[in-house]
Amino acid sequence: MAKKKFIEELYKKISLNELILFSIYSVTMKKEKCAFERLIKECFVLFPASFSFSGISKWPDSRKLDRSLRTLRNKRLISGDPKTVFSLTKLGRKTAEEVAKTFRQRKLKL
């Protein structure tokens, strides 16, 4: 099944933190565990321009998640770490659902 990605000019207006929250939400809605590697893949597939290397847009750059994941944990929006799995807290889920609603309202999918 082909995965749809979002229109770059619209998702670039959304913070990396919110895109990561949405990606965790996306993975968990598929009843999958959100391990670090799985999260990197989800972020890159959905939002390639935001999560790729600057010089090589065909490859995901996991470093772009590092600071954001720590920030999201400190704000109590997610739990977990790269050695285990990530999950959304109640507040994190609410934020991710708001991002999802924004995507639906703007019809961002191709």
What's the total number of domains in the chain? 1
Question: What CATH number does residue 82 fall under?
Answer: 1.10.10.10
**Is 6 within a domain?**
no
> Does the structure show a pLDDT above 50 at 1?
no
End-to-end CA distance of the chain: 15
**Is 70 within a domain?**
yes
What does the pLDDT look like over 45-96, one tens digit per residue? Answer: 999 999 999 888 899 999 999 999 999 999 999 999 999 999 999 999 999 9
**Is 45 within a domain?**
yes
**Is 5 within a domain?**
no
> Does the structure show a pLDDT above 90 at 42?
yes
